[in-house]
Structure 1
Amino acid sequence: MPIAGTGAPMRLFVRRSEQARAEAEFGEFSRTNRDGLAFLSKYFDYPFPFPKYDLVLIPGFPYGGMEHAGASFFNEEAILLRAAPTANDRLRRATLILHEMAHQWFGDLVTMRWFDDLWLKEGFATYMSYLAADRLMPDQGVWRAFYNSVKPAAYAIDVTRGTTPIYQQLANLNDAKSAYGAIVYNKAPAILRQLSFLIGEDAFRSGVRRFLKKHEYSNAEWSDLISAYEQASEQSLQQWAEVWVRRRGLPRIETEWRCDEAGRISRLALRQRDTLGEGGFWPMKLQVLTATGNALRTVTVTIEGESAVVNEAKGSACPEYVFANAGDYGYGQFLLDERSRSALRKRLGSVRDEFLRTLLWGALWDSVREAELAPLAYIKLGLELLPSETDEQLAGAVMANIQTAFNYYLSNEQRSEIAPQLESLFFDRMMKATGQGMRITYFRAFQSVAMTEKARGQLKSLLAGAISIPGVPLRPVDRWRIITALLARDDSEADSLFDSERERDKTDDGRKYAYVAEAARARQATKQRYFDSYLHDQNVPEDWVQESIRAFNSPQQAELTIQYLAPALRALPEIKRGRKIFFLLNWLRAFIGGQWSEQALRIVQAHLRNTSMEADTERKVLEVMDGLERSVKIRAKFANRG
């Protein structure tokens, strides 16, 4: 399928059986590619560097996308969306398309000299995909999506002992697998955004152009990029780059402030420390916000050492709260002080700016993860404020956090007490919210928390067609997700509904969805059969396995699946040897990430003590174990408390 109006011949290749679906999506797909190519060519001041650009959709492709000179391969389901899409889904697809397109310059026109500089292509492709999307889709809140979708994965690993620097020295090609992950895909673009804020957008763009022109059709390394930015900005960046590129981890930034008797700020300062306790400081340019009622003030501050005094704030009205990363240009943990956290729980609903509101919700969630704010308090704040939230992207982020808190951080008693309120809100907004995207967002969240008989009955009524979501027809994947949720909750009718749906949907997709759904069945025999299959049956497609291990390890069934945790850890050498790049990490996220108990934590810790592992495998275990440690810590402090 040719795409017209581009600077280079462009074609889409798709299976004949998916042609009708591709034609339905073709308008938006071709527009993103056409406009994206025009933007990137202009931004780089360099025309598309190859004679043609082909886009190939492949079923079961193990990655979202993969670039080649003059062509990109995509996972078919990442482009031809199976469920009714929200605006966030479309934005996610657009950034994937733009990520692979940006690789034609960063990765193919200029290639890193060796895999230790993998971030030069992956980090830049991610950053440029969001920069391009922001220009092409200005009403979609692209940088809010960057905060919600890109940075959390980097933060999640960078606070753990399993993290690495952006630059990893790799001795041979066999070690290259270990470089792929959130540090190069997620942290590196966040650091590039900080760099753009530090030196200015014009100098940043000029540096990119210098770099591409000087190293076209050849290799380069990170020092070449920094040199180009130093020339463009006329600033020395060696110390900045040495810290951010060669050191692992991130800073924790805290605010200290007090006011005088006249109600004016007498002192406001930032203080930082390394979250891993390894010493050193992180130079960063930030926007610090002070808020008094609806009066907001931001001050630009540079912190280079242990602390920085915000002199410009002295004498200003005493704030209700202070936040150190307005605009989200910084990278680190930006935690609220106790006074600010308390004030925000009362004032958050009155914050009008959507981006700021998103950042403040995120800061409160960070407080939950640090065991400073009770998860039940966060959920109750969501119950209070979500009904009036009009931003689909923010509502989705808050609901995702609520689902994590509900399924992992609450005691059984707390969960049973709060479930009817969550179910009622999510169902009501699923049926009545303004905008199709918001109704879809609530529909997806409702499935995750539907534990009572009433809520499960409502899911079954959706399947039967007795009720329907206005403007949201159930597609096959939606039906299978409902059945998966019912199986995970061990609903009495789930088995018969599964059998009926499998008979009803005999498509290739249907066979895959059935395989995934059955893994959620709360039966010992089913779990054993699936686990044996994961390790010994090479005929099951890897993408089927990768999706099903999440259903297998539903947090509602942690007491049933904990017996597979130790065997799953013992299988890591085999998994690493026989599976694709990202599979091992997804395996750990499923088998460790599906647990929340102290018993499970002891199993993982014992494996680390008693098993000799390759260094990169051990780092991944440490990375994923952090989430389990947090669950145990949060539950120990707040379970059975408000």
Structure 2
Amino acid sequence: MSAGADGRTSLTRAEAEVRAGAVSVQSVEVALDLTDEAGPTFGSRSVIRFSSTASETFVDFAGEELTAAVLNGRPLDLAAWSRARIPLTGLQADNVLEVEGRMGYSSDGEGLHRHVDPADGRTYLYAMSFLDAAPRWYACFDQPDLKTRCTFDVTAPVGWTVLGNGPAEVLEPGRWRIVSAHPLSTYFTTLVAGPYASVHGEHDGIPLGLHVRASLRAELEAQAPDMLAVTAASFDYYHRLFGIRYPFGEYHQAFVPDFNAGAMENPGCVTFRDSYVPRGRITHAEQGTRAGTIAHEMAHQWFGDLVTMRWWDDLWLNESFAEYLAHRCCTEATPYALWTEFGIARKDWGSVADQSPSTHPVAGNEAPDAAAALQNFDGISYAKGAAVLRQLATYVGDDVFLDGLRDHISSHAYGNATFADLVGSWTRAGAQDLPAWAQAWLRTSGMDTLDVEHADAGVRLVATPSEGSPVRPHTVQVGVVDEALALTVLDPVTVGGEPSPVVPVAGPAVLVTPDATDVAWAKVRFGPDGWERVAAALPTLQDETASVAIWNAVRDAVRDADLDPRAALDLVATSLPQQRSEVVWDSVLAFARTQLAGVYAPVGERAGRAARVREVAWRLVDGAAPRSDRQLVSFRQAVRLETDPDRLAAWFDGTDLPPGLGLDPELVWSVVERWCALGTGTGLLDQALARDPSASGQVHAARARAARPDAEAKAAAWRLLVEPSPAGAYELYATGDGFWTAGQEELTTPYVARYFAEIGGTARFREGWALGQVATQAFPRTAATPEALQAADAALRTDLAAQVRRAVVDGTDKIRRAVASLARWP
């Protein structure tokens, strides 16, 4: 018997290449004993059959206790286990490795996560193996290019639901066996086990299942028809698109608690965060977002699971394609047209990442190890990559683009591939000059700027590259708003070469926008007097797509200190009520509330600007039809801006609400969180927890406690963030979210320096996703001061874990931009 491994070593690319060159894995058989629901550990035994051309290698095992390790019948020295690796020496051509130990249940959403639902006290398990978490629940060769067939033999309480990467066969009461139909990479192996509530269906011969913890059974049953319909439509779409049927047998979608990502594409058993099964009203836009995630994970069954990247620097081959194809799929095959959501939400997320000091190319990042690769799991790999693929489809033609994808999938099915392989497929399909295009778009970082110069014959489009990058080719459609305030979208034109194209414009133009169809990946500007022109045109602009591109330009210009935040707030007040999309309403109102009235406002002006945003929110509420999505979306923002605790208390009691609006559980908690942020009492909080002691209620309560303007409450919240705690990851994230509440700067200012001094120490007791996410949520986002920047820069000169460093770099860039804006627009 040997004690737990002392820390973990992240697998390097060089080590992975050596191991993949020497080792071929025939099978992995894992036996799990999950019968002890309350204990801290569970039993795990792996039998790995593999061949080797080398005499030595290592296997990954991140358990709490190693009890046995036998190689070809020879016991190994258990004391050699260190840093989550077991060295293997004396290898033969064909080998059998047996590893047995005790693995720790996790509370951070990685490995085998255990959640006890406060609503009924029942235990729910799920496994998350991405990015390098598989060894936290079974011994394996953990890298994406060592695919193998997997068998999981599971012993668990009788009556549980057990799901995985293949059909679960009941061997006897309390024992299941799951056998994968095809070779799997370790990072998308999974197990879902517990007393889950289920809805089953079938489409085109494929058994379907939806699963959630039992306390959300009613919500699942009410929303299952929509989810099953989206799943069916997506299967039909991808079968047509790829020309290969879904190959992994049954298709389960499990909505699990405390999930860090939006979802994970495990073949045959996709896991989602359970907030996709909301406890109250769900708007059409939120159904669309969920549909997009369902379609995204389904696209992965081909792009990622059937054909898998060889190493993590090709992560974009998974995420960019799934992001792009999901938006195509939903728009073309479901009731949810998602390109507006992509433009106003996803592209903005990606553009912030692409302009941060942590920016990186979409492809070819040469991630030296798995831990470094995890830091590139961001808006660049998702949104920018998808936007670039949208440009590529235009550049090579849709038929060539799709023919290349089909060739790539069929050529590398059940194996691994690289970007070079994909370029070869597109070239065979007829694409030309792809290496030059890929170099410009995929192997450089940053954003060009598209601007207009008014010329005699019309307008000249000007593309300015980001620092250190070449100008990229942009194929865009110019939009012209004439004196009658009507929009005309012109034919496509390519900008980025020399000379800059002149676009003819018939008659005087109030506004010329370089990207009226929102397909460019670029910062957009409107000429030397562009913001005055935007102010004249935007209030009456009815074209949703063109307005999305303009709102993104507004947000970007504020962050670049090119636009006075007060002028941006004027645009929100005059123009947002005329916009038709509640997705745009929600996104722009959130920006106005958190940025224009928050970090981009002097502290003394924040309350006044928030009052203006609140007035806009109420105009939207009052102008919306009762019981409409627009009414609900606007009221949610109004609650977050309310300054009268008595009015909040009345809403909590169900009185004085807008006509036709009722409070669902999530909206109740929004009221409670805002009420707590305005005073030091706990009355509504205590009542809300008594009504709703669920897991979601506990998370909301953590946010509400952290938001209280009380020194003792802040101190307690701070201890949760920077000291070891039994609190779950979601409660920690909510605590960080609530801590830096606007209007409490006098109370939180002493914690700014403490954050930069103390956050690095959290790497001693947190790891993986939770380490970076807590550091991100706890960042002092309201502290736009030179002193905060000095403290941040000092912290960045110290040795920080990669996840913490990324959080500090990105957070510091945001407040640095706010400080620059405040200096220019005091």
Q: Which stretch shows the higher mean deviation, 497-506 or 399-408?
A: 497-506
State the AA in 2 paired with 1:571: I
1:602 corresponds in structure 2 to: 790
1:407 pairs with 2:598 = yes
How far does residue 203 in structure 1 lie from its aligned partner after superposition?
Answer: 1.8
Structure 2 residue aligned with 1:524: 711
Report the Cα offset of residue 315 of structure 1: 6.6
- Residues 172 and 414 from structure 1, CA distance in 2 versus in 1: closer, same or farther, beyond 3 angstroms? closer
Give the equivalent residue in structure 1 for 2:21.
none
1:579 positional shift: 3.2
Q: Residue 192 of structure 1: CA displacement?
A: 0.9
Mapping of residues 286-305 of structure 1, within 5 Å? 286-293=476-483, 294-305=486-497
TM-score (norm 1): 0.91
For 1:39-438, list aligned pairs within 5 A.
39-77=237-275, 79-137=276-334, 140-167=336-363, 168-259=365-456, 264-265=457-458, 268-274=460-466, 277-293=467-483, 294-305=486-497, 307-311=498-502, 313-314=503-504, 316-403=506-593, 404-434=595-625, 436-438=628-630
- Separation in 1, partners of 2:620, 2:410: 52
Distance 2:583 2:504 in 1: 36
| Distance (whole Å) between structure 2 residues aligned to residue 16 and residue 616 of structure 1 | 34
Aligned 8 A contact 2:359 2:445 in 1 = yes
Match of 2:659 among 470, 485, 508: 470
Unaligned runs of 5+ in 1: none
CA pair 576-235 structure 1, distance change in 2 beyond 3 A: farther
Q: For structure 2, which runs of at least 5 residues remain unmatched after alignment? A: 1-198
**2:675 aligned partner, one-letter code:** L
The DSSP-based 3-state class of the residue aligned with 1:327 is coil
Shift of 1:254: 2.2
After superposition, the Cα gap between the structure-2 partners of 1:636 and 1:486, relative to the gap in structure 1 and judged at 3 Å, is farther
* 1:162/1:621 contact within 8 Å kept: no
CA distance in 1, matches of 2:487, 2:704: 50
Contact 1:487–1:518 (8 Å) recurs in 2: yes
Shift of 1:421: 4.3
Question: For 1:536-565, what per-residue CA distance to the aligned partner results, in whole angstroms no more than 9, with x for missing partners?
Answer: 344111111112211112233234223333
Cα distance in 2, alignment partners of residues 54 and 472 from structure 1 = 35
Q: In the alignment, residue 401 of structure 2 is paired with which amino acid?
A: F
Aligned 8 A contact 2:309 2:317 in 1: yes
Deviation digits for residues 273-325 of structure 1 (CA, Å, limit 9, x no counterpart): 21xx22422232222233323252424222344x54224x2474343222222
Aligned residues: 622
CA 1:616–1:150 in 2, change beyond 3 Å: closer, same or farther? same
* Amino acid of the structure 1 residue aligned with 2:665: P
After superposition, the C-alpha distances for 1:364-416 in whole angstroms (9 at most, x for unaligned) are: 23222222222222222222233333321222222122212112222345444
**Corresponding residue number in structure 2 for 1:626:** 813
Compare 8-17 and 51-60 and name the one that shifted more. 8-17
Following superposition, the deviation at residue 329 of structure 1 comes to: 1.7
How far 1:621 moved relative to its partner?
Answer: 2.6
Letter in 2 for 1:400: A
Aligned mates of 1:508, 1:286 — CA distance in 2: 47
Distance 1:419 1:624 in 2: 22
Q: 1:543 to 1:419 in 2, by over 3 A?
A: closer
Deviations 1:479-516 (A, max 9, x none): 1211211222x336x53222332333333432332122
Between Structure 1 and Structure 2, whose CA radius of gyration is higher? 2
- Using structure 2 for the length normalisation, give the TM-score: 0.71
**The 10-residue stretch of structure 1 (174-183 or 418-427) with the greater mean CA deviation from structure 2:** 418-427
Q: Give the Cα–Cα distance (whole angstroms) in 2 for the partners of residues 566 and 83 of structure 1.
A: 40
Question: Partner residue of 2:20?
Answer: none
Deviation at 1:113, TM superposition (A): 0.7
Kindly report which structure 2 residues correspond to 1:448-527, keeping only aligned pairs within 5 A, or say none. Answer: 448-451=640-643, 453=644, 456-488=645-677, 490-491=678-679, 494-527=681-714
Encode CA deviations 1:397-452: one digit per residue, 9 max, x unaligned: 2212221211222234544444444434423532551261101111121123223x
Cα 1:65/1:205, change in 2 over 3 Å: same
Per the alignment, do residues 577 and 157 of structure 1 end up closer, same or farther by CA in structure 2, a change over 3 Å counting? farther
Q: What is the aligned partner in structure 2 of residue 535 from structure 1? A: 722
Aligned equivalents of 1:190, 1:226: Cα separation in 2 = 18
Alpha-carbon distance between aligned partners in 1 of 2:437 and 2:610, rounded to the nearest angstrom: 48
Aligned to 2:130: none
Instruction: Give the aligned partner of residue 638 of structure 1.
Output: 825
Cα gap change, 1:445 to 1:222, in 2 (>3 Å): same
Does residue 561 (structure 1) correspond to residue 748 (structure 2)? The answer is: yes
1:16 maps to which of 199, 205, 214: 214
Q: Is the 8 A contact 1:419 1:450 kept in 2?
A: no
Q: Structure 1: which amino acid aligns with 2:242?
A: F
Range with greater deviation from structure 2 (171-180 or 512-521): 171-180
Deviation at 1:576, TM superposition (A): 8.3
Whether contact under 8 Å (1:302, 1:308) holds in the other structure is no
CA–CA distance in structure 2, aligned partners of residues 636 and 184 of structure 1: 33
Cα distance in 2 for residues equivalent to 1:129 and 1:195: 16
More helix per residue: 1
Bigger fraction of residues in strand: 2
CA gap of 1:141–1:10, structure 2 versus 1, over 3 A, is closer
Q: For 1:552 and 1:282, locate their aligned partners in 2 and report how far apart those are by CA, in whole Å.
A: 42
Provide the secondary structure at the position in 2 that maps to 1:322: strand
Single out whichever of 380-389 and 626-635 deviates more from structure 2: 380-389
Does the residue aligned with 1:336 lie in a helix, a strand or coil?
coil
1: distance between equivalents of 2:777 and 2:691? 32
What residue is the counterpart of 1:588 in the other structure? 776
Whole-Å Cα distance in 2 between the matches of residues 424 and 289 of structure 1?
Answer: 31
Q: How far 1:222 sits from its partner (Å)?
A: 0.8
CA contact (8 A) 1:336 1:363 kept: no
**What is the CA–CA distance in structure 2 between the aligned matches of 1:360 and 1:247, rounded to whole Å?**
25
| RMSD (Å) for aligned C-alpha atoms | 2.3
Amino acid at match of 2:305: D
Q: In the alignment, is the contact (CA less than 8 A) between 1:254 and 1:337 conserved in 2?
A: yes
Contact 1:336/1:367, CA 8 A, preserved across alignment: no
